[in-house]
Amino acid sequence: MSIAHRKHPDPLRLAIETAREAGAAILEAARLPLDIRQKDRRADLVTSADRASEAIVIARIREAYPDAAILAEESGASPGSSDERWIIDPLDGTTNFAHGYPIYCVSIAYERAGELLAGAIYAPALDECFAAERGGGATLNGKPIRVSTIDDLGDAMVCTGFHPADYARNGAHFGAISQVAQAVRRDGSAALDLAYVACGRFDGFWEFDLHAWDVAAGTLIVREAGGRVTQLGGAAAAVDASSILATNGRIHTALDDELERAGK
Ligand code: IPD
Ligand code: CA
Ligand code: CA
C-alpha cells in the first residue's frame, strides 16, 4: 500500500515539518511571560505555548488535508469526510515545559481507515525529531533507529508515567518494577517515553489512562523501530485503550508478568 495519498502532500513529511514548526513556536512562546492555567486537575496544565502550537498544527493540516478528521488535545475532535484522521498533542509534557525541564514535545500522527501510517515527535529544546512511516522504519533526525537488545528485565531501564491523582495503583507498580528492573524512570512526556523506547534509551514503557494524542505517533515509531506495543495483559494496542505497554520486544512478557503480579 502506498502511504502517499493521491492529492495530498506526503503525510510523513507534513508531520515532520509541522512538528518542527510548532516546536519552534513553543520555544518562542517560552521567551515571553507564559500564561499557565490549570485544567481540571492540579497537575493538568495548559499554557499559551500549547495553544500556539496547536493553532499552527491545525492550520497546516487543514490546509493540506481539508477532508481529514482531526483529534487535537486542546480543541477536541472535528469530523472529516474522508477516512483519514490526524491525531495531535501540541505539547506533550506541559508540566515539564512549565518548569523548564526539556523533556517535552509535539506529537503528530496520521491514520487512514483506522491504521497508523505516519508519525512525528519533535522535542524542540533538544532538537530531536523522531519519525516513522508504516513499513519504512523509524528515524531520529533522519537517521535510522532501533530498539535496544537487552533481554533481561534485570538489565533494563524502563519508564512509566502517571497522574498524581492515580498514585495508589501506579505507585504499587512503580515500587514493584523498581525491585526487578535495573532502573525505573518517570519522565513526564508519554510521547517522548515511547520515542526513547524506539531509539533504545529505554527498554520498556507502561502507562494507564493515556489519550490517543499521547500515544498515536509513538506507537507507530516503536513498532517501526522493531519494538512491540500492546495493552497490559497482552491485548492488541489501540490508541484509545486504557493501558499501553511498549518495549524492545525482548522484555515484553517479563515486564507484563511483573506488572500483573504487582496489580493483584
Ligand atoms: C501528559 C504526559 C505525561 C503523562 C500524562 C499526560 P500532557 O500529557 O504525557 O507523561 O503521564 O498522563 O497527560 O498533559 O503534558 O500533554
Ligand atoms: Ca499529552
Ligand atoms: Ca498536551
Residue 40 has pLDDT above 80, yes or no: no
Whole-angstrom CA distances from 220 to 105, 118, 191 are: 16, 7, 11
Which protein residue's CA is at the shortest distance from atom 16 of ligand 1?
A: 92
Nearest atom of ligand 1 to the alpha carbon of 190: 9
Residue 241 has pLDDT above 70, yes or no: yes
| Residue-level pLDDT at 34 | 73
| Residue-level pLDDT at 41 | 62
Q: Is 218 in the pocket of ligand 1 (CB under 6 A)?
A: no
Q: Is 50 in the pocket of ligand 1 (CB under 6 A)?
A: no
| Residue-level pLDDT at 35 | 73
CB-based contact 92:75 (threshold 8 Å): no
Q: Which domains does the chain have, with CATH numbers?
A: 11-144 (3.30.540.10), 153-263 (3.40.190.80)
| Dihedral of alpha carbons 215, 102, 162, 137, sign | positive
**What CA–CA distance (Å, rounded) separates 4 from 155?**
40
| Paired sense of beta strands 243-247 and 105-112, if any | unpaired
- Banded model confidence at residue 184, pLDDT cuts 50, 70, 90: very high
pLDDT digits (tens, 9 = 90+) for 207-225: 999 999 999 999 999 999 9
pLDDT digits (tens, 9 = 90+) for 12-23: 999 999 999 999
Closest CA to 90 of 130, 121, 114: 121
Residue 119 has pLDDT above 80, yes or no: yes
**What CA–CA distance (Å, rounded) separates 100 from 136?**
34
Which DSSP letter does residue 59 get? H
Nearest atom of ligand 1 to the alpha carbon of 187: 10
Predicted TM-score (pTM) of the model is 0.95
pLDDT digits (tens, 9 = 90+) for 121-180: 999 999 999 999 999 999 999 999 999 999 999 999 999 998 767 777 788 899 999 999
User: Average per-residue pLDDT in the chain?
Assistant: 93
One-letter identity of residue 50: D
